[in-house]
Amino acid sequence: MPNVKKRRLQGVAAVLAAGTGYALMSILVKRAFQIGLGPIQVIALQSWIASILLLIYAVFFKREIFRVTFQMLWILVLQGLVGTLGTSLLYAYSLKFLPVSVAILLLYLYPGLVLVTGVVIWNKRVGRQELIAFFLTLAGTTLASGIFSGVGGVAVLGIVLGLAGAMAYAAFNILGEIALAKVSPLVVMCFTQWACAIALLVILKGDIMSIPWQNAQIWETGLLLATVASIIPFYMILVGIERLGADQAAILSTFELPMTFIMAAVFLNEFPTGDQWIGGSVVMCGILLLNWGSKGEQSNEKALYKKRSD
Protein backbone atom coordinates (compact mmCIF):
# COMPACT_ATOMS: atom_id res chain seq x y z
CA MET A 1 0.00 0.00 0.00
CA PRO A 2 2.78 2.52 0.74
CA ASN A 3 4.11 1.98 -2.80
CA VAL A 4 0.65 2.59 -4.24
CA LYS A 5 0.30 5.81 -2.25
CA LYS A 6 3.77 6.91 -3.27
CA ARG A 7 3.02 6.33 -6.96
CA ARG A 8 -0.23 8.24 -6.65
CA LEU A 9 1.43 11.21 -4.94
CA GLN A 10 4.15 11.21 -7.61
CA GLY A 11 1.48 11.25 -10.30
CA VAL A 12 -0.44 14.10 -8.66
CA ALA A 13 2.73 16.18 -8.19
CA ALA A 14 3.77 15.53 -11.79
CA VAL A 15 0.43 16.64 -13.25
CA LEU A 16 0.30 19.78 -11.07
CA ALA A 17 3.86 20.65 -12.13
CA ALA A 18 2.83 20.15 -15.76
CA GLY A 19 -0.14 22.47 -15.26
CA THR A 20 2.17 25.16 -13.90
CA GLY A 21 4.50 24.81 -16.89
CA TYR A 22 1.68 24.93 -19.40
CA ALA A 23 0.24 27.99 -17.64
CA LEU A 24 3.62 29.68 -18.08
CA MET A 25 3.48 28.73 -21.76
CA SER A 26 0.49 31.04 -22.21
CA ILE A 27 2.56 33.95 -20.90
CA LEU A 28 5.49 33.08 -23.19
CA VAL A 29 3.27 32.67 -26.25
CA LYS A 30 1.81 36.10 -25.61
CA ARG A 31 5.35 37.45 -25.42
CA ALA A 32 6.16 35.73 -28.73
CA PHE A 33 3.17 37.43 -30.36
CA GLN A 34 4.46 40.77 -29.09
CA ILE A 35 7.80 40.28 -30.88
CA GLY A 36 6.08 39.55 -34.18
CA LEU A 37 5.56 35.78 -34.44
CA GLY A 38 2.36 34.19 -35.71
CA PRO A 39 0.67 31.10 -34.16
CA ILE A 40 2.29 28.49 -36.42
CA GLN A 41 5.69 30.19 -36.05
CA VAL A 42 5.41 30.02 -32.26
CA ILE A 43 4.54 26.33 -32.40
CA ALA A 44 7.39 25.65 -34.82
CA LEU A 45 9.88 27.61 -32.69
CA GLN A 46 8.92 25.65 -29.59
CA SER A 47 8.84 22.26 -31.29
CA TRP A 48 12.06 22.60 -33.29
CA ILE A 49 14.19 23.78 -30.36
CA ALA A 50 12.70 21.13 -28.05
CA SER A 51 13.29 18.41 -30.65
CA ILE A 52 16.93 19.41 -31.17
CA LEU A 53 17.58 19.41 -27.41
CA LEU A 54 15.95 16.00 -27.02
CA LEU A 55 17.86 14.58 -30.01
CA ILE A 56 21.19 15.76 -28.57
CA TYR A 57 20.32 14.23 -25.20
CA ALA A 58 19.23 10.92 -26.76
CA VAL A 59 22.32 10.60 -29.00
CA PHE A 60 24.85 11.33 -26.26
CA PHE A 61 23.19 9.96 -23.12
CA LYS A 62 20.21 7.70 -23.89
CA ARG A 63 20.67 5.85 -27.18
CA GLU A 64 18.31 3.13 -25.99
CA ILE A 65 15.52 5.63 -26.67
CA PHE A 66 15.81 4.75 -30.36
CA ARG A 67 15.10 1.05 -29.71
CA VAL A 68 11.35 0.90 -30.21
CA THR A 69 9.28 -1.61 -32.16
CA PHE A 70 7.75 -0.66 -35.49
CA GLN A 71 4.26 -1.01 -34.01
CA MET A 72 5.11 1.30 -31.11
CA LEU A 73 6.70 3.78 -33.51
CA TRP A 74 3.39 4.13 -35.33
CA ILE A 75 1.55 4.77 -32.05
CA LEU A 76 4.08 7.43 -31.03
CA VAL A 77 3.97 9.12 -34.43
CA LEU A 78 0.17 9.17 -34.30
CA GLN A 79 0.28 10.67 -30.81
CA GLY A 80 2.72 13.32 -32.00
CA LEU A 81 0.69 14.25 -35.08
CA VAL A 82 -2.83 14.07 -33.64
CA GLY A 83 -2.14 14.83 -29.99
CA THR A 84 0.79 17.24 -29.86
CA LEU A 85 0.61 19.02 -33.21
CA GLY A 86 -3.15 18.69 -33.62
CA THR A 87 -3.98 20.21 -30.25
CA SER A 88 -1.57 23.13 -30.70
CA LEU A 89 -2.68 24.06 -34.22
CA LEU A 90 -6.40 23.56 -33.71
CA TYR A 91 -6.48 25.57 -30.50
CA ALA A 92 -4.34 28.37 -31.96
CA TYR A 93 -6.52 28.71 -35.04
CA SER A 94 -9.79 28.43 -33.11
CA LEU A 95 -8.74 31.73 -31.50
CA LYS A 96 -9.12 33.37 -34.92
CA PHE A 97 -12.87 32.83 -34.75
CA LEU A 98 -13.69 32.60 -31.03
CA PRO A 99 -13.22 34.68 -27.89
CA VAL A 100 -10.52 33.20 -25.66
CA SER A 101 -13.12 32.27 -23.02
CA VAL A 102 -15.08 30.07 -25.43
CA ALA A 103 -11.93 28.52 -26.93
CA ILE A 104 -10.65 27.57 -23.46
CA LEU A 105 -14.03 26.15 -22.50
CA LEU A 106 -14.10 23.93 -25.58
CA LEU A 107 -10.52 22.73 -25.01
CA TYR A 108 -11.30 21.79 -21.41
CA LEU A 109 -14.06 19.46 -22.52
CA TYR A 110 -11.32 16.89 -23.20
CA PRO A 111 -11.40 15.26 -19.71
CA GLY A 112 -14.97 14.21 -20.44
CA LEU A 113 -13.90 12.77 -23.78
CA VAL A 114 -11.12 10.80 -22.06
CA LEU A 115 -13.52 9.41 -19.44
CA VAL A 116 -16.15 8.48 -22.02
CA THR A 117 -13.55 6.78 -24.24
CA GLY A 118 -12.19 4.82 -21.28
CA VAL A 119 -15.66 3.60 -20.32
CA VAL A 120 -16.81 2.78 -23.87
CA ILE A 121 -13.63 1.22 -25.29
CA TRP A 122 -11.86 -0.28 -22.26
CA ASN A 123 -14.90 -0.75 -19.98
CA LYS A 124 -13.24 1.24 -17.22
CA ARG A 125 -15.11 1.58 -13.96
CA VAL A 126 -15.59 5.18 -12.88
CA GLY A 127 -16.09 5.74 -9.16
CA ARG A 128 -18.63 8.12 -7.65
CA GLN A 129 -15.98 10.47 -6.32
CA GLU A 130 -14.29 10.57 -9.72
CA LEU A 131 -17.58 11.49 -11.38
CA ILE A 132 -18.26 14.23 -8.82
CA ALA A 133 -14.72 15.55 -9.27
CA PHE A 134 -15.19 15.58 -13.04
CA PHE A 135 -18.44 17.53 -12.84
CA LEU A 136 -16.88 19.99 -10.39
CA THR A 137 -13.95 20.63 -12.71
CA LEU A 138 -16.29 20.90 -15.69
CA ALA A 139 -18.50 23.40 -13.85
CA GLY A 140 -15.43 25.30 -12.65
CA THR A 141 -13.86 25.59 -16.09
CA THR A 142 -17.22 26.65 -17.56
CA LEU A 143 -17.62 29.41 -14.98
CA ALA A 144 -13.97 30.46 -15.13
CA SER A 145 -14.03 30.67 -18.92
CA GLY A 146 -16.28 33.74 -18.62
CA ILE A 147 -18.97 32.33 -20.90
CA PHE A 148 -21.68 33.47 -18.49
CA SER A 149 -20.49 37.03 -18.90
CA GLY A 150 -22.17 37.03 -22.31
CA VAL A 151 -20.76 35.73 -25.57
CA GLY A 152 -22.54 36.39 -28.82
CA GLY A 153 -21.98 35.80 -32.49
CA VAL A 154 -19.91 32.64 -32.04
CA ALA A 155 -18.64 31.31 -35.39
CA VAL A 156 -19.57 27.73 -36.25
CA LEU A 157 -16.12 27.10 -37.74
CA GLY A 158 -14.51 28.27 -34.51
CA ILE A 159 -16.63 25.86 -32.47
CA VAL A 160 -15.69 23.00 -34.80
CA LEU A 161 -12.00 23.85 -34.48
CA GLY A 162 -12.26 24.15 -30.68
CA LEU A 163 -14.04 20.80 -30.33
CA ALA A 164 -11.50 19.21 -32.65
CA GLY A 165 -8.73 20.59 -30.43
CA ALA A 166 -10.35 19.01 -27.37
CA MET A 167 -10.60 15.69 -29.24
CA ALA A 168 -6.94 15.94 -30.23
CA TYR A 169 -5.90 16.51 -26.62
CA ALA A 170 -8.06 13.62 -25.48
CA ALA A 171 -6.33 11.47 -28.11
CA PHE A 172 -2.94 12.59 -26.75
CA ASN A 173 -3.91 11.37 -23.27
CA ILE A 174 -5.42 8.08 -24.47
CA LEU A 175 -2.56 7.21 -26.83
CA GLY A 176 -0.13 8.21 -24.09
CA GLU A 177 -1.67 5.68 -21.72
CA ILE A 178 -1.36 2.95 -24.38
CA ALA A 179 2.27 3.81 -25.14
CA LEU A 180 3.27 4.11 -21.48
CA ALA A 181 2.25 0.51 -20.88
CA LYS A 182 5.33 -0.54 -22.91
CA VAL A 183 7.80 2.37 -23.07
CA SER A 184 9.02 5.09 -20.72
CA PRO A 185 7.68 8.67 -20.59
CA LEU A 186 11.03 9.86 -21.99
CA VAL A 187 10.63 7.71 -25.11
CA VAL A 188 7.06 8.94 -25.61
CA MET A 189 8.10 12.56 -25.22
CA CYS A 190 11.02 12.30 -27.66
CA PHE A 191 9.20 10.55 -30.49
CA THR A 192 6.03 12.63 -30.26
CA GLN A 193 8.09 15.84 -30.29
CA TRP A 194 10.13 14.65 -33.26
CA ALA A 195 6.99 13.69 -35.16
CA CYS A 196 5.51 17.13 -34.46
CA ALA A 197 8.71 18.92 -35.54
CA ILE A 198 8.97 16.98 -38.81
CA ALA A 199 5.29 17.61 -39.57
CA LEU A 200 5.82 21.35 -39.06
CA LEU A 201 8.74 21.26 -41.50
CA VAL A 202 6.39 19.74 -44.07
CA ILE A 203 3.64 22.26 -43.33
CA LEU A 204 6.06 25.17 -43.69
CA LYS A 205 7.64 23.54 -46.78
CA GLY A 206 11.06 23.49 -45.14
CA ASP A 207 11.10 27.25 -44.72
CA ILE A 208 12.86 27.38 -41.35
CA MET A 209 13.87 30.99 -42.07
CA SER A 210 10.24 32.05 -41.64
CA ILE A 211 11.39 32.55 -38.04
CA PRO A 212 13.80 35.50 -37.53
CA TRP A 213 16.57 33.52 -35.82
CA GLN A 214 18.89 36.55 -35.77
CA ASN A 215 16.70 38.13 -33.09
CA ALA A 216 18.08 37.40 -29.59
CA GLN A 217 14.58 37.67 -28.09
CA ILE A 218 13.43 34.88 -30.39
CA TRP A 219 16.10 32.55 -28.97
CA GLU A 220 15.35 33.55 -25.38
CA THR A 221 11.63 33.02 -25.81
CA GLY A 222 12.14 29.83 -27.83
CA LEU A 223 14.44 28.24 -25.23
CA LEU A 224 11.98 29.01 -22.43
CA LEU A 225 9.10 27.65 -24.49
CA ALA A 226 11.07 24.51 -25.36
CA THR A 227 12.23 23.72 -21.82
CA VAL A 228 10.22 25.25 -18.99
CA ALA A 229 6.96 25.30 -20.95
CA SER A 230 7.38 22.20 -23.14
CA ILE A 231 9.90 19.47 -22.32
CA ILE A 232 9.50 19.61 -18.54
CA PRO A 233 5.67 19.80 -18.38
CA PHE A 234 5.39 17.35 -21.31
CA TYR A 235 7.44 14.81 -19.37
CA MET A 236 5.52 15.52 -16.16
CA ILE A 237 2.10 14.96 -17.74
CA LEU A 238 3.27 11.64 -19.17
CA VAL A 239 4.55 10.59 -15.74
CA GLY A 240 1.16 11.59 -14.35
CA ILE A 241 -0.67 9.48 -16.94
CA GLU A 242 1.62 6.54 -16.14
CA ARG A 243 0.97 6.84 -12.38
CA LEU A 244 -2.72 7.79 -12.40
CA GLY A 245 -4.20 6.80 -15.76
CA ALA A 246 -5.38 9.13 -18.52
CA ASP A 247 -8.78 9.91 -17.00
CA GLN A 248 -7.57 11.09 -13.59
CA ALA A 249 -4.55 12.87 -15.07
CA ALA A 250 -6.93 14.71 -17.43
CA ILE A 251 -9.08 15.96 -14.55
CA LEU A 252 -6.07 16.98 -12.45
CA SER A 253 -4.53 18.87 -15.36
CA THR A 254 -7.34 21.45 -15.13
CA PHE A 255 -5.11 22.93 -12.41
CA GLU A 256 -3.58 24.79 -15.36
CA LEU A 257 -6.57 27.10 -15.46
CA PRO A 258 -6.35 28.73 -11.98
CA MET A 259 -2.55 28.77 -12.28
CA THR A 260 -2.90 30.69 -15.55
CA PHE A 261 -5.01 33.29 -13.72
CA ILE A 262 -2.29 33.76 -11.10
CA MET A 263 0.53 34.05 -13.65
CA ALA A 264 -1.46 36.44 -15.81
CA ALA A 265 -1.95 38.68 -12.77
CA VAL A 266 1.73 38.49 -11.79
CA PHE A 267 3.39 38.80 -15.20
CA LEU A 268 0.83 40.59 -17.36
CA ASN A 269 -1.11 42.61 -14.77
CA GLU A 270 -4.30 40.94 -16.02
CA PHE A 271 -6.50 40.28 -13.02
CA PRO A 272 -9.24 37.60 -13.15
CA THR A 273 -12.90 38.49 -12.76
CA GLY A 274 -15.00 37.34 -9.82
CA ASP A 275 -16.49 34.51 -11.90
CA GLN A 276 -13.02 33.32 -12.84
CA TRP A 277 -11.84 33.24 -9.22
CA ILE A 278 -14.94 31.29 -8.19
CA GLY A 279 -14.54 28.91 -11.13
CA GLY A 280 -10.88 28.37 -10.30
CA SER A 281 -11.82 27.57 -6.70
CA VAL A 282 -14.39 25.02 -7.87
CA VAL A 283 -11.72 23.39 -10.05
CA MET A 284 -9.42 23.14 -7.05
CA CYS A 285 -12.23 21.52 -5.02
CA GLY A 286 -12.57 18.91 -7.76
CA ILE A 287 -8.82 18.26 -7.64
CA LEU A 288 -8.87 17.83 -3.86
CA LEU A 289 -11.89 15.52 -4.02
CA LEU A 290 -10.24 13.40 -6.68
CA ASN A 291 -7.32 12.77 -4.33
CA TRP A 292 -9.47 11.64 -1.42
CA GLY A 293 -9.90 8.24 -3.03
CA SER A 294 -12.16 5.68 -1.47
CA LYS A 295 -10.83 2.41 -0.11
CA GLY A 296 -12.21 0.60 -3.12
CA GLU A 297 -10.38 2.91 -5.50
CA GLN A 298 -7.16 2.46 -3.53
CA SER A 299 -7.55 -1.32 -3.80
CA ASN A 300 -7.96 -1.00 -7.54
CA GLU A 301 -4.83 1.15 -7.70
CA LYS A 302 -2.94 -1.45 -5.69
CA ALA A 303 -3.99 -4.18 -8.11
CA LEU A 304 -3.02 -1.98 -11.07
CA TYR A 305 0.38 -1.21 -9.56
CA LYS A 306 1.00 -4.91 -8.87
CA LYS A 307 0.01 -5.79 -12.44
CA ARG A 308 2.39 -3.17 -13.89
CA SER A 309 5.20 -4.32 -11.62
CA ASP A 310 4.90 -8.01 -12.63
Domain count, the chain: 1
Question: In this structure, which amino acid lies at residue 237?
Answer: I
Distance CA 75, CA 63 (A): 20
**Tens digit of pLDDT for each residue in 1-59?**
567 788 888 888 998 898 888 878 878 878 888 888 888 998 899 999 999 999 999 99
At 300 the pLDDT is 45
Alpha carbon distances (Å) from 309 to 12, 240, 249, 254, 304? 19, 17, 20, 29, 9
Helices 295-309, 2-34: inter-axial angle, 10-degree rounding: 90
Give the C-alpha separation, 75 to 80, whole Å: 9
pLDDT at residue number 99: 59
The DSSP symbol for 152 reads: -
The type of residue at 249 is A
Cα 116 to Cα 170: distance, rounded to the nearest angstrom: 10
Domain of residue 99, residue span:
2-309
Task: Determine the Cα–Cα distance for residues 228 and 16; give it in Å rounded to an integer.
Answer: 14
Question: How many other C-beta atoms can be found within 10 angstroms of the C-beta atom of residue 213?
Answer: 12
- pLDDT digit string, tens, across residues 230-275: 889 878 888 888 888 877 787 777 777 778 777 877 877 777 677 7
Q: What is the number of H-type helices and E-type strands within the chain?
A: 15, 0
Which of 80, 142, 84 lies closest to 111 in space, CA to CA? 142
